[in-house]
Structure 1
Amino acid sequence: MNFNFLSPVSEEVLSHNATLSAQALGKKIRIHSKTEGIPELDGVQLAIIGVLEHRNDVNYTGQSFGLETIRTSLYSLFPGNWNTTMADLGDILPGDSVEDTYYALKTTISLLIEKKIIPIILGGSQDLTYANYRAYDTMAPMVNIVNVDSNFDLGDVSIEMKNNSFLGKIILEQPYNLFNYSAIGYQTYFNSQEEIDLMEKLYFEAYRLGEVSNKLNLVEPVMRDAHIVSIDLKSVRASELGDNQKYSPNGFDGKEICAIARYAGISNKVSSFGIYEFKPTKALDTTPMLISQMIWYFIEGVNCRVNDDDFAKEDQHQKFNVLIDDDELIFYKSIKSGRWWIEIPFLPNVNNKLKKHALLPCTHEDYMEASHGKIPERWYKAYKKNSF
């Protein structure tokens, strides 16, 4: 396979790895090194890719950065009782233009997904999510993106795309592959009323920080329906991060962001996962260790995946019918995992977008509310989105 865009993991990281315990995660990972080249990928299920690109950060001032501190932190952790094989493919260096970097990332992700390897992308500015999305152009008819962020990142599409406006470009640029976009942990005062109204108009999902913090399991069905998960470190509160990374006094704490990463890993559908907006510093910094633990929990989630969504086998699910006014809602519960889905009906004479989205992940609470006459909001938005 052609991975010419990737530069090897630095000698500094490899030297540190050599000093670690034989049980450390760094000793279990196949690493792209200068001497050994790209590792053998047969049997690999997860691959780390660094992307040293942040020229489209609205605050970019010309500085370069590296990911060595994240790698040394991650390698020093101990793996769980896992059965997945991992690789670290090194870094994509900034191209002559930002578009060159996008092309390199898009191509690399496409190659990995075709090989059924989940890329774990470390950035870099969050506009790299756009290149991640474009990697699906030839592979998935419709794509769902979950963005864990304090901002929606819709931005002004009439000007050049930046890390705070990549979603607008995803929505408006052909080919139109985006089916659903979900924002987790947004903070109202960081988003204009026009953006909030547009999210509603497009029937996208938006969950406020307080809503998610009060009920973290809201994230699970949203992640279960995602192909791409993009986490902006600005969603994490300042007290959890190093001095160079601080953004807002409000945000997720370390435990919450790791739980969210684990929910992303558990999802059978998530096929790429990215953590963005890392800003390294030479001072003692907790940020690389937090990112490492987020990656650890994502891997833990992947190892806990359960094949519970084969609806062709009728004996593996219980079916529940709920009548609300003139609507019949049909729920399914997995006997194996206890997880729930709700059916989205096909609409006659409509250019239906839901060929592969007829069953929407939901919660037991959604079923209970429907039983008391309340239509679940996720069902309503998916139904309306499929109507126009």
Structure 2
Amino acid sequence: MVFDFLRPIDVDLMIDLQNQSEACLAKKVVFHTEEAFPKLEEVKLAIIGVLEVRGAEQDNVTVDLDSVRKEFYKLFPGNWNASIVDLGDIVAGESIEDTYFVLKEAVAQLVKQNIIPIVIGGSQDLTYAMYRGYDKLEQMVNVVSVDYKFDFAREHSSLADSYLMKMIVDEPNNLFNYSNIGYQTYFNAQEEIDLVEKLYFDAYRLGEVASNPTITEPVFRDADLVSIDMRSVMSANSGNFITFMPNGFSGKEICTFSRYAGISDKVTSFGIFNHNNSQAEAVLIAQVIWYFIEGFHYRSNEYPFGTKSNFIKYIVAQEEELIFYKSDKTERWWIEIPFLSNSHNKLKKATLLPCTYEDYLEACAGVVPERWWKAQRKNLL
């Protein structure tokens, strides 16, 4: 079994966690120890560390996740009832492909059991292994990356710089949509920005998102896999001065995105990467994980919905009829991507795309929502 490759939690760390308050997360989580592996029945969330940095941009990068665990497990839980386990660490294999394989199989098994893996990793190319974990599920995958660049690079680049290209090119090609949150234009070649547009992917500049973080909520609501590069956070907030980032998201904003990901009924895996072992960053990552789990406990379980009785249907007459749905429960909006029987469809049925009330108002004014238009084009490619 793939979980046999996971290393138990360090003994010294377990002793430290046992000394925490009874009300802390340390006493609410079941750990993979030398003595026992957690039972996965009824489990909803599983934390996995991945000690792999060979895909990193920089040489001599190390990763120590015990500091993150110490900070996370001394936090107090909210009004949580979901069972959480910590499965320990995937150690770096003989080759990086060996590490990819173990992570891929672990994600596949957990998602198949309706358990959300929360992966704390080294370099962000591990996102590719998480994506490949969906191969056996036979579904199209939407990936959202909070990152300051697109990771398209192909020539003389590290795996962390080019994993997105592998997602697009490698078979089987299950990638339906990629969305970038927070790219900084000066870190991305114009050819890469043009390629994102050509592939009908979604990209939001740092300034655009920082001025209005709520525009990202529908993006996270449509994600299957969410990947956060901690270098998207400004160094003054993250404490990471190895890769100095004068601009980026604040700690509050990155936690907001994490909560959006947790609230999404569709997100089935979540990863945090490029932790550079600073104490301040460990504290921030602990809070990012906390907000994801907090969001998970506020899921409304309204998508995919079996009945539309709790939704109001709105039809906007344009050259092509647009159909919107508004939830009575949360007042969130969706727009329908129709199934065209006379065309090739990547999506094998009519699908709902999360949107905003502003998208509906624009449609009423005769403007076709951009994300709907892009989704249509991707569906027919």
TM-score, normalised with respect to structure 1: 0.95
State the Cα distance separating 1:219 from its structure 2 match: 1.2
Which is worse superposed, 147-156 or 356-365?
356-365
Q: Which residue of 2 aligns with 1:109?
A: 107
CA RMSD of superposed structures (Å): 1.5
CA displacement at 1:357 relative to structure 2: 6.1
1:333 aligns to what?
326
Q: Is this contact kept in 2: 1:237–1:246, CA < 8 A?
A: no
Please give the residue correspondences for 1:1-388 in structure 2 after superposition, counting only pairs within 5 Å. 2-34=2-34, 36-61=35-60, 63-156=61-154, 162-281=159-278, 285-324=279-318, 326-355=319-348, 358-388=351-381
Give the conservation status (yes or no) of the 8 Å contact 2:339–2:350: no
3-state SS of paired residue (1:81): coil
Bigger mean CA deviation after superposition, 182-191 or 311-320: 311-320
Give the SS at the match of 1:292: helix
Partner Cα distance (1:137, 1:288) in 2:
32
Matched residue SS, 1:163: helix
Give the distance between the partners of 2:161 and 2:322, measured in 1 at CA.
38
> Deviation at 1:113?
1.1
How many Å separate the matches in 1 of 2:267 and 2:51?
23
Residues 358 and 126 of structure 1: is their aligned pair in 2 closer, same or farther, counting only changes over 3 Å?
A: same
- Counterpart residue identity of residue 68, structure 2: I
Using a 3 Å threshold, how does the CA distance of structure 1 residues 26 and 243 change in structure 2: closer, same or farther? same
Percent identical across equivalent pairs? 52
8 A Cα contact 1:239 1:246, kept in partner: no
Counterpart code for 2:25: L
Q: Which amino acid in 1 is paired with 2:348?
A: K
Comparing 188-197 and 308-317, the one that deviates more: 308-317
Write out per-residue CA displacement over residues 318-363 of structure 1, whole angstroms, 9 at most, x where no aligned residue.
0001123x12111001111111100112234322012256210101
Counterparts of 1:74 and 1:15, CA distance in 2 = 15
User: How far did residue 313 of structure 1 move?
Assistant: 1.5
C-alpha distance in 1 between matches for 2:138 and 2:277? 35
- How far the C-alpha of 1:203 sits from its partner, in A, is 0.1
How many angstroms apart in 2 are the aligned matches of 1:214 and 1:163? 28
Moved more, 357-366 or 47-56: 357-366
The ranges of structure 1 where at least 4 consecutive aligned residues each deviate by more than 4 angstroms after the TM superposition are: 158-161, 243-246
Which amino acid in structure 1 is aligned with residue 126 of structure 2?
A: L
Distance 1:247 1:358, change over 3 A: same
SS in 2 for 1:239: helix
Separation in 1 of the partners of 2:341 and 2:348? 13
- Structure 2 CA distance for aligned equivalents of residues 168 and 161 of structure 1: 12
Aligned partners of 2:350, 2:228: CA distance in 1, in Å? 24
Whole-angstrom CA distance in 2 between matches of 1:271 and 1:243: 28
- 1:289 is displaced (CA, Å) by 0.6
Question: Which residue type is aligned with residue 329 of structure 1?
Answer: L
Q: Which consecutive unaligned segments of at least 5 residues does structure 1 have?
A: none
1:297–1:386 CA distance, 2 compared to 1 (3 A): same
The secondary structure found in structure 1 opposite 2:271 is strand
Number of aligned residues: 381
